[in-house]
Structure 1
Amino acid sequence: MNLKNSITEFREFQRVRRTNRLLKKKMLNFVNVRYQRGEKQPINDVRVIIRSGLPPDLGVIAFRAGDFQGYVGLEDVETYNDRAVNIAELLLIFEDEENIKLTFPTVTQKQEFAAELKNLLGLSNRSTPDPGLPLPIA
């Protein structure tokens, strides 16, 4: 009995340690981001946090600014588009919800955010043609 409890405690400790290591490794913060969901009023000075999760949960994108808090599960994001009019804008595209437009202070932050989405989810940029698909003939 005592050995069984020790093994259970050890496995729980290992799981917690693995989870903490994963969360520390895969967390990005972006500050002073402008957030706009659909056609609603934009919110300035938003902190955007990407946290990876443990399978089957892919993780979450959290938005925080003063009284405003919002969360989007990474599995809900269908794709993204970073070829918006303003070079520092990125559009998160959803299938059943309103899209989210993020405007970053610098292009480097936008590229880092897009790279992290691509790494975590295998998402592709909708503006760039997939090399496996034939190009349309005009």
Structure 2
Amino acid sequence: MIAISSGIEIAEQELEWQFIRASGAGGQHVNKVSTAAQLIFDIRASSLPAFYKNRLLARADHRITPSGKIIIKCQQSRSQEFNRQQALLQFIELVQAAGVVAKKRYATKPSYGSQQKRLDSKKKRGSTKQLRQTKADS
């Protein structure tokens, strides 16, 4: 079981792993070992709560496909185990971020001081405008 956050766990069987050769520049002496780890997770078929599923499916992220799968590829190191751990960390962070709900902000009444400041600046702008107008008229 992989703990995502308090009370939410995912079974190891829900994660599909593929180890592929890292893409990128190479030459004659390229290491032919499959080092890049690719994690595939089906959101719709998972045991996640409906709230997390809906938030993940609605999220705009390049790692989430339109068919509802999360695909995370990690090729930071030549070690398969390290790349696997990094992909798993990225997956956990993605699911945790989907569970965070933005704080609702309520409209507040402006303070007396800010209202006075606003009125003063309005009066000042009005008086300078009048001065310009009288100078232009004369």
Please give the TM-score of this superposition, normalised by the length of structure 1.
Answer: 0.24
Asked which structure has the greater RCO (Cα within 8 Å, sep 6+), the reply is 2
Please give the TM-score of this superposition, normalised by the length of structure 2.
Answer: 0.24
Q: Which protein is richer in strand relative to its size? A: 1
